[in-house]
Structure 1
Amino acid sequence: MKCALVTGGSRGIGKAICLKLASENAYHILINYQSNKEAALQTLAEIEALGATAEILKFDVADHEAVNKVLHTWKENNPQAVVEVIVNNAGITRDGLFMWMQPEDWKSVIDITLNGFYNVTNFFIQEMLRSKYGRIINMVSVSGVKGTPGQTNYSAAKGALVAATKALAQEVAKRKITVNAVAPGFIRTDMTADLDEKELIKMIPANRFGEAEEVANLVAFLASDKAGYITGETININGGIYS
Structure 2
Amino acid sequence: MIDFASIDFTALMPFILIGFAAQLVDGALGMAFGVICNTLLVAVLGVPPATASARIHVVEIFTTGASGLSHLFHRNIDWPLFWRLLIPGVIGGVLGAYVLSSLHADVVKPFVLGYLVLIGVWLLIRGLLYPPKIAKPKIVAPLAVVGGFLDAAGGGGWGPVVTSNLLVQGGEPRKVIGTVNSVEFFLALAVSAAFIWNLGFAEILGPTLGLIIGGVAAAPLGAMMAKRFSPKVMLVMVGIVLTATSAFGLYRALV
Tell me which protein shows more strand as a share of its residues: 1
Which one has the bigger helix percentage?
2
TM normalised by structure 1 equals: 0.27
Give the TM-score normalised by structure 2. Answer: 0.26
